Amino acid sequence: MSDLVLRSAGSLATQPNQTELKQDALRERFALFGLCSPALLLVLIIMVLPVGWLFWLSFLGEDGNFTLENYQRMVESKSYARIFRNTFEVSLLTTGICILIGYPLAYFLSQLPRRAANLCMITVLLPFWTSLLVRTYAWLVLLQRRGLINEWGMDIGLWDEPIKLVHNLTGTLIGMVHIMLPFLILPVYGSMKAIDRDYMKAAANLGASPAQAFWRVFFPLSLPGLFAGALIVFVLCLGFFVTPAVLGGGKVIMVSMRIATNIELFFNWGAASALGVVLLVLTLVILGIASRVLRFDQLLGGGHGS
């Protein structure tokens, strides 16, 4: 009987405490929301409102009335399907080439002493200090029919006449890989540097060869950084404009270029907005699929999981 009374008294005493704790937690949430409100307002003005305005424009016809003709045109016209196919093809090829070049380079940098690695990382970051437009036109000078590469190749006898390196898919890929490569190297390098080298030593002590230790231990631990870098490169390539426009020579048409054409030549904001909305939705779908493979903190930070 006394035990029952004590338990009842204890439960009655804890109820006010629980109520006060809930009130304190609620006040803390309101305080945190108040501190975050300026940043949330800035995000609302800079990101949410423009995207909402983009959605609204996509449902307006040339006469200013509500219509679905901008989306119907994309479904009915084969040219739009070809543009989206080109966009994803160029993005995938650029991402794949960046992986083939960037992963070995990141591994090489991760094995260097810290001082040497920091010096080499300067060369990776150096393109960020040069304008994107300047780098693109520099490649145009190098790759054109009478450019430095063709002249050099003919001088040493590699080929007899100029080869077509620009105003096609080849020139577009060269320029985009050069610009996107640092975006893959940086997260991969960060992921590799976070791997404990004792894992490799333990694998060697257990009888694994260097190749086996790399593929069974090091490579799986570096995959989150590789996925993060590949995702960043791919998403950025989807909206690329300057490099395909200059190095593609009008033969490599991507979604961003069609958007610019709809605005600059046809003054059709509705068609341009619809293209932007579809590209945004496809990008969000890709991010959603990627989040199923890895957590977003791994995708954005490039850290390796357990």
**Domains, the chain:** 77-300 (1.10.3720.10)
Cα separation, 15 vs 33, in Å, equals 27
Query: pLDDT tens string for the chain (306 positions)?
Result: 555 444 554 554 455 677 777 877 888 888 888 888 888 888 888 888 988 898 998 998 877 788 888 898 888 888 899 999 999 999 999 999 999 999 999 999 999 998 888 888 888 888 888 888 899 999 999 998 888 888 888 888 888 888 898 999 999 999 999 999 999 999 999 999 999 888 988 988 988 898 999 999 999 999 989 998 999 999 999 998 999 999 998 889 999 999 998 888 888 888 899 999 999 999 889 888 887 766 555 544 444 444
Provide the sign of the torsion angle of the four alpha carbons 193, 174, 89, 288, taken in this order: positive
- For the purposes of burial, counting CB atoms within 10 Å of the CB of 250, is it exposed (0-12), middle (13-18) or buried (19 or more)? exposed
Closest CA to 228 of 184, 289, 275: 184
CB-count burial class (<10 Å; 0-12, 13-18, 19+) for 198? exposed
Radius of gyration of the chain (CA): 27
Report the alpha-carbon angle 234-240-243, nearest 5. Answer: 120
State the alpha helices, DSSP H only, in the chain: 2-43, 49-58, 69-76, 78-111, 114-125, 132-143, 148-155, 169-193, 198-205, 210-213, 219-238, 242-247, 255-264, 269-293, 296-301
Three-class SS state of 167: coil
CB count within 10 Å of CB 232 equals 20
Residue 303, Cβ neighbours under 10 Å: how many?
17
Q: How far apart are CA 103 and CA 114, in angstroms?
A: 18
In whole angstroms, what is the distance from residue 78 CA to residue 182 CA?
A: 35
Q: What is the pTM of this model?
A: 0.82
